[in-house]
Amino acid sequence: MELYRRLKAAAQRRGLRFILVGGHAVNLHGYARSTTDLDILVCKDDREAWLSAAAELGYALSRDGLTFLQLRTPEPPGWPLDLMLVGRGTFEGMAQAAQPMRLFDEEVLVASLSHLLALKLHALKHTNVGRVLKDYEDVLNLAAINQMDLRSDGFRDLCLRYGTTELYERILRLSQA
């Protein structure tokens, strides 16, 4: 994917780092599903530098949710770019746990499975109805493919920390369906 190569080069020129999250990270963790954008997690201190890098690639800001930026593609039907902004401590912790993987014949730092699940649980807790089914499917399929015990204390704690008790119980019910 040309966008990924160009984005990686623009980031390197500015000394910026990112972690792959979203659908591509889900795919790299073993659950193959379609995705229509590129989602990356970045340090919020680098917000302006990322906006500059995206503008260099022809991207324009289409939604500013302060911690979640959506950028529209310069050449439809290209890939939109979503930036999730987190504090430096969170970014560094996630970067340490992230795994280098190959995406489009390029090495990329991918959110660890537990961090990816935490992001999905956070999204389920705060999301609109349109995303709910996709995020539940991601959680359930990632857990199954990676042989996670949904009744383990570790998974329950993850759900309660980043989601809710209701989300945890619903995931358990859905896993039995």
The per-residue pLDDT for range 76-86, each reduced to its tens digit, is 777 899 999 99
**17 and 40 together in one domain:** yes
Question: What digits encode the pLDDT tens for the residues 55-76?
Answer: 999 999 999 998 999 999 877 7
**50 and 133 together in one domain:** no
As a whole number, mean pLDDT of residues 114-124 equals 95
User: Whole-angstrom Cα distance, residue 28 to residue 9?
Assistant: 21
Among residues 175, 159, 91, the alpha carbon closest in space to that of 125 is found at 159
Q: Where are the alpha helices (DSSP H) in 15-76?
A: 22-28, 47-56
Between β-strands 19-21 and 38-43, what pairing exists: parallel, antiparallel or unpaired? antiparallel
Average pLDDT, the chain: 92
Asked whether the CA dihedral 46, 91, 102, 82 is positive or negative, the reply is negative
**56 and 95 together in one domain:** yes
Is it true that the peptide bond before 77 is cis, omega within 30 degrees of 0?
A: yes
**95 and 28 together in one domain:** yes
151 falls in which pLDDT band (50, 70, 90)? very high
**94 and 130 together in one domain:** no
Q: What is the pTM of this model?
A: 0.92
Residue 93 clears pLDDT 70, i.e. is over it:
yes
**79 and 5 together in one domain:** yes
User: Whole-angstrom Cα distance, residue 25 to residue 108?
Assistant: 10
Domain limit, last residue, from 95, 111, 127: 111
**174 and 87 together in one domain:** no
Measured from the Cβ of residue 115, the count of other Cβ atoms closer than 10 Å reads: 22
Element (H, E) at 68: strand 68-72
